[in-house]
Structure 1
């Protein structure tokens, strides 16, 4: 794995470098937001994972995440934040981060989060987003199609573009059991591979971004079941 770590605390970077080496991963460290973004832009396809501090000189982590997402919707981003504010963490997810870890953190916790996110994202293939008549879909209804090999999703024949790895997995988890209601706790365990210990706003932030991308191509198929959770239902799609 090739990791770009954008972190202004050199002690944290040095500590994580030892853990990355122990895993056999290559890591590049940048200590300024703008420098980190420039390193990403030099070769956007080079990176398998980005860890991004929220508070950075030059350009803060939220701005960096937003700029990265303009170039790549698939590169996994884990945001590191010393803030306990719920709003900061949700905004970070809405800016495009797939996950976040609150400082101070255990290096083993960050390694586990990286591995879990990478397991999901390594299936992403860069293929043209054009339906193929011979293509086999894992989910196919009269209005909706998904293919987990090509990581494509279509609503009424239109591609739902720009899905991050987590957004795709969240949509697939809901769509493969249409009209079944999933609680936030269930979605955390099924999509994130580990428990967030009640951190349900992670699901809400990803649902919000997923809905925005679905609405660009058609009617909303992710429904809220108040007091319970979410479900996929395309039965009302015209």
Structure 2
């Protein structure tokens, strides 16, 4: 049985692949545990200078599996703790010293877009569909998206994207400042690889410290954002709208 997350390292470029295409690479318990373990491994490796995160199949990541999250809530002692555990397992990307690149080959919806936003850089396919559609499902946002997205697109545009929950294209993601590059599907691999290799060619310690300095300058506090989002999601998960949203997924 294949691992939920694959890790490969070649020429100083590490690639993390969400490897459950039959489950739309959703944030499920087995995937989040393997993802966190692979990220922890990367922290200790000196042969990886940059990390690419991608999804296998046609979807980057469809976000949290809320049905699985309900089961986790029973085991974790409540929905708030389950939300923290799920999203926190992916936000550990922020703790990596290496720069991270999201290679968004397909849909990145809800927490899936949050995973892309947890990376430092994003290269998206023009065929990809993205969105923070939490409110359409009856939830408040998660994955620290309320912290990251306004800092990329501005408060006004972030408010529009959150309130409407609309889905947008890879091309619009680039125009909004969410993506560094939006390229044709057939050019995605080459563009991402070129960017990764260019970064890998820089001095690793200098890059790691520069990354640290950038986030200090932005006063980045994903943990605080996640804690508040977890409280809000736990409340909205109990509503009729959220229950209908889960059944409609």
Length-normalised TM-score, structure 2: 0.31
Is the helix fraction higher in 1 or 2? 2
Q: Which has the higher contact order (CA 8 A, sep 6+)?
A: 2
Length-normalised TM-score, structure 1: 0.32
Please say which structure displays the higher CA radius of gyration.
Answer: 1
